[in-house]
Every structure is written in C-alpha cells, then in structure tokens.
Amino acid sequence: MVFNTGAALLDAIVLSIVSAEPEGTYGYRITQEMRKVLEVSESTLYPVLRRLQKDSCLTVYDREYAGRNRRYYQVTEQGMAQLNMYRGEWQSYSAKISSILFSGRNGE
C-alpha cells in the first residue's frame, strides 16, 4: 500500500477486530485479519496490543490451547468508547478524502 498507516488507524483496526469476538481473540488471529486489509507483521502488531492494553482499551488473559497457553485480548468499555470515536472520525475523514479524490475533476 502506498499510503502510510498511522498509529490511530492501527489502533482502530485492532480494536475493531478484537471487538468482533465477545470472548476476545489472540495475536496470530488478529494479524491474519489485519493482513486482509494491510501488510502488517507481528512485530508491528504486538506494540499496538501493548499500547492498547496500557491505555486500558484491552484486557489480556491466557487460555490453554493444545497444551500451551495462548494469550487472548478482549476490548474493555473504554476500548469500545475509543473504537466508536475512531469509527465516527473515520466516516468523516474518509468522506472528505473521497469527495476530493473522486470529485470528477480529472486533474484540474
């Protein structure tokens, strides 16, 4: 992708993916979902998860899977409030950008 992806957009995408699962989801699955829309590595994702946890937007718990513990992330109430703010901002921002990019001016 030629456009830069800032921290706020990464936060919004992660919160949206995690919020889709009521019991939360784990890092590898989050990475796979993100890769449907962005090229992102696990080394990019985990600092985002830690930041969201530090900001009280995510809680973390471990669950056994195939004899090992798997770390799950779950959205908090504060995280949902942040996600809803991001969603509103995105709608406004993307509408404004789209109105310029697709205005039909053809290079004017």
89 lies in some domain: yes
- Count the domains in the chain: 1
* CATH number reported for the structural domain that contains residue 19 in this entry: 1.10.10.10
17 lies in some domain: yes
pTM: 0.88
Residues of the chain with pLDDT under 70: 1, 104-108
**Residue-number span of the structural domain to which 47 is assigned:** 7-99
CB neighbours of 19 closer than 8 A, spacing ≥ 6?
A: 75, 79, 80, 83
Residue 56 confidence (pLDDT) = 98
Residue 106 confidence (pLDDT) = 56
